[in-house]
Structure 1
Amino acid sequence: MTTWLRDETTPYDIFRFLRDPDEERHQAARVTEDGALWLASATARPCAALARWQERPAAPAVLSCGRVFDVVNVEPIFGRRMLDRLWAEGPGSGPVAVHRGRMLLFAAPGTAQRLPALLDWEEYGDAVPRPLCHGTGDAVTVPPLAPQDTSGPRWLVAPDTRRPWLPGPEVLLWACVRAARMVSAADVRVSIFASADPDANVYDVSRRR
């Protein structure tokens, strides 16, 4: 517990619900105490946000973008490919959540403004759904700090520090391009397999990019 929280009017242990010993109930990634403080810092009244979470730890919350983080909102299958590249070949990711069939990648402030232009410059094309970028003036719904199950909003990579590393627009551009290449390569393999001529042993590779 930090000093500034002890000095506020919070006589209860605000993080008691994050230390539930019954870990078998929590199959999704769980937010730590430091991660909760980081999320609360995106609000105008952090202590009030923490108090609401203490009262309703299984409820999602709405947080503003632009000051503490931006959010890149992608189709989940493509988002998984992006995460694969970020963790297998790149620097990793910041916090990542799933909400209403979309994947939310938390990014450095300013990413929402710059990433669309970078994608246009790369001729990203229509191979995959275009990411939605949330920045200054936008808000996103984040999963509960203490999820009850994995059927609703949940964290895939939960916040666990007061200052988590967040990818910027260049890193996410790289991940998007790498994931798009994976999609293109998969299309080529499917096309080759589907158009094989067993008599002439000729394959249609017209879709190769």
Structure 2
Amino acid sequence: MTAWLRDETTLHTGAAPRHGVDILAALRDGPDRLPERAGDRVGQVTPSGAAWLAGASAYPRTTLARWEAHPTTAGVLPCGSSFDVVNVPALFGRRMLEQLWAEGPGSGPVATHRGRLLLFAAPGTAQRLPSLLSWEEWGTGHPRVPRASLPALLCHGTGDAVTVPPLVAGPGAGGPRWLVAPDTRNPWLPGPDVLLWACVRVTRSAAPSTTGNSIFPPADPGANVYDVSRRR
């Protein structure tokens, strides 16, 4: 996949992505400083966003009441109903976000936790994305991307649970934090096709070229080689 392909089933579910937020400038400052940028709200959960998060739990009202009492405490939510989560290394995830926001449709909510990025995705992504990656780019026969150099992507779906950052980041908090916080009751979430596109773009841009340009013809493996260094 070398170009962005729109999928009507995933691009127009819920609200449109928020291209008005200068996410690229925030990414250049580094993930740790992203929620502290003045003038934007990428790291702040709105009441509508909190309601969407709570809807993933079995008891939304109880979850909201707990967050209201302890807004600086992280929570744990199940995946599979409201969202799936793709868990990627921080550097690879940052490059994915740069691709998504610079040349793609944007991203859904994104959090950071223990040196990794959590990309919230459409339900079903955790089941489909691994097989799509294996078929498109992660296969053992692909000549441009050695398997040993690929990052460890973890897909959390039905039956899994993830730690979500607190609604309000406490001073000097070193735990999970929102990079792009949910701010609507129906946020747009990327599907497996969108994340596949971003992964492939990042991987191919980072892979060293295996074909160089040379003015000499390829060597003949059956040719005889003579040592002429001592000839007069």
Distance in 2 between residues matched to 1:109 and 1:118, nearest whole Å? 15
Matched, 1:120 2:142: no
Matched, 1:86 2:119: no
Distance in 2 between residues matched to 1:91 and 1:31, nearest whole Å? 21
Aligned partner of 1:130 in structure 2 is 152
Aligned partner of 2:189 in structure 1 is 166
SS in 2 for 1:176: helix
Would you say the 8 A contact 1:127–1:180 is kept in 2? no
Displacement over 3 Å in runs of 4+: none
Aligned partner of 1:179 in structure 2 is 202
Distance in 2 between residues matched to 1:135 and 1:126, nearest whole Å? 25
Higher Rg of the two aligned structures: 2
Q: Give 1:172's aligned amino acid.
A: L
Gaps of 5+ in 2: 1-34, 37-41, 139-146, 213-232
Q: CA deviation at 1:150?
A: 5.1
For residues 8-66 of structure 1, the C-alpha deviation after alignment (integer angstroms, 9 at most, x for no partner) is xxxxxxxxxxxxxxxxxx72701001000000000011110001001111010000000
Q: Give 2:104's aligned amino acid.
A: G
Gaps of 5+ in 1: 1-25, 193-209
Structure 1 length as normaliser, TM-score?
Answer: 0.74
Matched, 1:35 2:58: no
Structure 2 length as normaliser, TM-score?
Answer: 0.67
Count of aligned pairs = 162
Distance in 2 between residues matched to 1:143 and 1:182, nearest whole Å? 31
Aligned partner of 1:196 in structure 2 is none
Matched, 1:140 2:162: yes
Q: CA deviation at 1:119?
A: 0.5
RCO (CA 8 Å, sep 6+): is it higher in 1 or 2?
A: 2
Would you say the 8 A contact 2:137–2:200 is kept in 1? no
Distance in 2 between residues matched to 1:86 and 1:38, nearest whole Å? 23
SS in 2 for 1:94: coil
Higher helix share: 1
Distance in 1 between residues matched to 2:125 and 2:102, nearest whole Å? 22
Aligned partner of 1:100 in structure 2 is 114
Instruction: Specify whether residues 54 and 99 from structure 1 end up closer, same or farther in structure 2 by C-alpha distance, changes over 3 A only.
Output: same
Instruction: Specify whether residues 150 and 87 from structure 1 end up closer, same or farther in structure 2 by C-alpha distance, changes over 3 A only.
Output: farther
